[in-house]
Amino acid sequence: MTISICMIVKNEEQVLKRCLDSCADLADEIIIVDTGSTDGTKKIAAEYTDKIFDFEWIGDFSAARNYAFSLCSMDYIYSVDADEVLDEENRTRFRILKDRLLPEIEIVQMKYGNQLENGTVYNFDEEYRPKLFKRLRTFTWIEPVHETVRLDPVVYDSDIVIRHMPVSVHSSRDIDIFKNRLSKEGELSERLWEMFAKELFISGSDEDIIGCEPYFRAFEEKPMTADLHKVICSVLCKAARMKNDTDSFFKYSVKLLAGSEGCSEVCTEMGHWYENKQDYQEALIWYYNAVNETAPIISIRSGGTEPLDRMIEIYDLLGNTEEADNYRRIRDGLGK
């Protein structure tokens, strides 16, 4: 089978060469769509391909990717981001895949690795993502009687691991896209509301969280799943704590704690609240609950390194070095 490497880029001169050096020879064509670079990105791209196209950025990654996919002509499309790298072991795996992939497979998933090291919005160091797509899909009839067309794609989970190696975090850009979408269309899908919350919780600044509070406050009263409601209330709880808004803080905390097992996020926020009030014993109880009695729903750090760091600092402050060292060992076992 043949492969098109397909990329959308903007101001990627720091990482583009590193990326293409690791994968260019695996492809039969390279399609690069530039959404408005002002640095040397297009010059670097021209060292690898003459198929470089411009796309006016409209704040919509799907629109840019759909345009880029429309330019591809090979059997399969390998969707690549400029901050990705394939090491030699995984380049070998990719070559084997290219030689042996069965034509009925329509999507190949690859493991996206190195996530936690770079402050991304994902809670797993490795997770499968669809990366290789059959360009033209053939519809197939299935079932010996009451036949129907197979609608679900045939997906293969490969052993290829892609290293995600960004040189900066793009949270401010992504947060602006969420806000612009809400301003223009007034709504997000439930999936995007969850991703919006993750961006804020994991990578957003205090100003980002406080600035986005009105969007979440307006959405919180609307019908949604119980799981999403917990995510929305977690963001509102965090924003209220940052603003020292006592009424709102306990309003959303109670919603998170009542009738459920709670979550690490609200326990960590309660810990921060009492620590700020210098009620250290109460703070320790909530931080302990964040680590040991609940599970995170937005950020894995809320159930691990974040409350553990606070417990260590409080025990050091109180002169209890034995407990501080105990939790320091636990934290170091998780990885910072």
More confident residue, 121 or 49: 49
| Distance (Å, whole) CA 255 – CA 248 | 11
Q: Quick one: which of 98, 92, 88, 130 has its CA closest to 112?
A: 130
Q: Which two tokens stand for residue 113?
A: 């690795």
Q: Which residues contact 168 (CB under 8 A, 6 or more apart)?
A: none
pLDDT at 283: 97
More confident residue, 231 or 202: 231
Please count the other Cβ atoms lying within 10 Å of the Cβ belonging to residue 135: 17
Q: How far is CA 2 from CA 24, 107, 161, 162, 274, in A?
A: 13, 14, 20, 20, 59
What's the distance, CA 120 to chain centroid? 6
Q: Which two tokens stand for residue 245?
A: 């808004």
Q: Is the pLDDT of residue 270 over 70?
A: yes
Q: Which residues contact 289 (CB under 8 A, 6 or more apart)?
A: 262, 267
| Distance (Å, whole) CA 21 – CA 107 | 24
Q: Is the pLDDT of residue 336 over 60?
A: no
Q: Is the pLDDT of residue 124 over 90?
A: no
> Which whole number is the average pLDDT over 62-69?
96
Amino acid (one-letter) located at 134: K
What topology is assigned to 261-336 in CATH? Answer: 1.25.40
Q: Which two tokens stand for residue 284?
A: 């320790």
More confident residue, 122 or 181: 181
Q: Is the pLDDT of residue 59 over 60?
A: yes
Q: Are the C-beta atoms of residues 97 and 161 closer than 8 Å to each other?
A: no
Q: What percent of the chain has pLDDT over 90?
A: 77
pLDDT at 184: 86
Q: Which two tokens stand for residue 256?
A: 């998170």
Provide the 3-class DSSP secondary structure of residue 299: coil
Average pLDDT score over the chain: 92
Q: Is the pLDDT of residue 119 over 90?
A: no
| Distance (Å, whole) CA 220 – CA 230 | 10
Provide the 3-class DSSP secondary structure of residue 65: helix
155-179 pLDDT, tens digit each? 999 999 999 888 776 678 889 999 9
20-45 pLDDT, tens digit each? 999 999 999 999 999 999 999 999 99
Band (122; pLDDT cuts 50, 70, 90): low
CATH number, span 3-164: 3.90.550.10
277-297 pLDDT, tens digit each? 999 999 999 999 999 999 999
Task: Map out the domains of the chain as residue ranges.
Answer: 3-164, 169-258, 261-336
> Which whole number is the average pLDDT over 196-209?
91
Q: Is the pLDDT of residue 67 over 90?
A: yes
Question: Which residues sit opposite 129 in a β-bridge?
Answer: 110
